[in-house]
Structure 1
């Protein structure tokens, strides 16, 4: 009988532990204006760095590829129109 009560205690301990971890705890801390502005500035700088990385690694190569494709298409269409015509 002792063995079954330990098993039931283990099964009850898991939800109790998870529930206790999920409960909000009041933080007894103060963030001053200097630290708060620094944290906000850091988050903005991080977001800008990620945005610029995406632009640098994705947008500019795609822009170059589209420009090269358009130039190739222009040379094909310009060359085919002048060959058949004589003045």
Structure 2
């Protein structure tokens, strides 16, 4: 009972973050989101890009092999 009474009578901290600290915190949060976005690109987009390039190369090799020996490009 006394703990609930103690917690209900808490006063505000009256903390102040100056402009330098606030901008630093905002920059750190933005950098965290940018790093997460770049990690997503690195782990998702580049393997897909490599797979598409390999598929394109395989199609070109397959098309070149079916032209015959006397065909010039």
**TM-score, reference length from structure 1:** 0.61
The residue number in structure 1 matching 2:24 is 38
Quote how far apart the aligned CAs of 1:84 are. Answer: 7.4
- Would you tell me which structure has more helix in proportion to its own residues? 1
Q: How far, CA to CA, are the matches of 1:33 and 1:77 in structure 2?
A: 63
The residue number in structure 1 matching 2:68 is 83
Describe the SS at the equivalent of 1:83.
Answer: coil
Could you tell me which runs of 5 or more consecutive residues in structure 1 were left unpaired when the two chains were aligned: 1-25
The residue number in structure 1 matching 2:8 is none
How many aligned positions are there?
65
- Root-mean-square deviation (CA, aligned residues, Å) is 2.8
Query: Which of structures 1 and 2 has the bigger CA Rg?
Result: 1
Q: How far, CA to CA, are the matches of 1:37 and 1:45 in structure 2?
A: 12
Q: How far, CA to CA, are the matches of 2:20 and 2:36 in structure 1?
A: 24
Which of 47, 50, 71 aligns to 2:33? It is 47
Could you tell me which runs of 5 or more consecutive residues in structure 2 were left unpaired when the two chains were aligned: 1-11
**TM-score, reference length from structure 2:** 0.72
